[in-house]
Structure formats: C-alpha cells, structure tokens
Structure 1
C-alpha cells in the first residue's frame, strides 16, 4: 500500500514540477499582439524543444522572453542544432515582432 502511495505521489509531482508545454499555450505577453498565430507557434516550438532538452521551466520562460528576442532564444537554437535557414527565419520573425510593437 505504501509503495502505491509513493508511486502516485511521484507521478503527481512529475506532472506539476515538469509541465509539458504545448504549442497552443497562451501567447507570451510581451508579443501577443505582434505575431500572428502561425509565427508564434513556429517560435514557441523552439522553446518547447529547448524545455524538453533541459527540463527546466525557467529556460522555457526565458526563451520566450522579449518576444523570442532574448539571448536565451538564440542559445536554445544553438543547443538544438537548428540549421541556419531555420535560425534566420526565426530571427526575422522575432525582429519583425519587435518593430511592429
């Protein structure tokens, strides 16, 4: 009985402590009005993948910071070995959202 309780406790803790972020998560407040949904999904996926790599919710939030224009976002693209064409597209979208705001 005790082992079942421990297993349930561990499962519950893993669900709370390591949320599985989805592409449909709410817009990052700093750029929600500046990016169309398709662009947001594209950029947010990079941060989701970075979260899955590091399993740190703070990395996910920092990656999305400054409307995907932070150094963390660039670092995530490097860590994920994203190709130059995709990096360029992501950078252009993030820069475009900053000029729109």
Structure 2
C-alpha cells in the first residue's frame, strides 16, 4: 500500500512538472552564452567578469532585438565601439564603466580601445 502511494505521488509530480518544463523558452543560438575562447579572448578567464561583460551585450540585444548588434557588441572580446555604444544606450553609470574597463583589461589581456564619447548631459 505504501509503495503504491509513492508511485502515485511520483506519477502526479511527473505530470505536473512536464508542462512546466515544456513551457519554458527553448534556447536558440543567441541565448547560449558566448564562450571565452569563441570570442578569442586572450586574457584571464574570470567567470564573474566575463559574464558581466556578456550581460551588457545581452541587455543591448534585448533592447533592440537586432542580432547584428548582439554580435558586434561581443566583437574582439567586447573591445569594439559597439560595446561602448551599448554602455551608453543602457545608461551604465561612470563608476560601473570604470569597473567594466578593468574587467575588459583582464579578459582581453591588454588595454581596451572601444570608443566611447563622453555622455551628453
């Protein structure tokens, strides 16, 4: 009797969880995180730093829904003018930009060159 009850509970949980998992959005190529090596980053892999930089490009993509922006933002391991433009449109504060520049130096292994014109006030 106890075994039969456990089986019924297991089956019920299974039936409840299946629709939840199938309702989750399916990953497509853009939702997969770019790999440190795929972007040809030549610095030190620091998971926290890398994923924060990657998040900037993800947020920029979510804002415009343009695949080319997503790709260009990550170009040269986040060392492009497009990354700087994403920082501007996402209104990233100057203090955080300083941190992100440090992150870029770590993951790229060299000083950053993205062009970011001063924010107009």
TM-score of the alignment, normalized to the shorter chain, above 0.5 = yes
1:47 corresponds to which of 54, 57, 71: 57
- TM-score (ref. length: structure 2): 0.58
User: In the alignment, is residue 57 of structure 1 matched against residue 71 of structure 2?
Assistant: no
Unaligned stretches of 5+ in structure 2?
1-25, 111-121
Q: CA RMSD in A?
A: 2.5
Deviations 1:38-62 (A, max 9, x none): 1111100000000001101111111
The structure with the largest alpha-carbon Rg is 2
How many Å separate the matches in 1 of 2:34 and 2:105? Answer: 21
Match of 2:105 among 85, 95, 101: 95
TM-score (norm. length: structure 1): 0.68
1:26 & 1:97 partners in 2: Cα distance?
12
User: Could you tell me which residue of structure 2 aligns to residue 26 of structure 1?
Assistant: 35
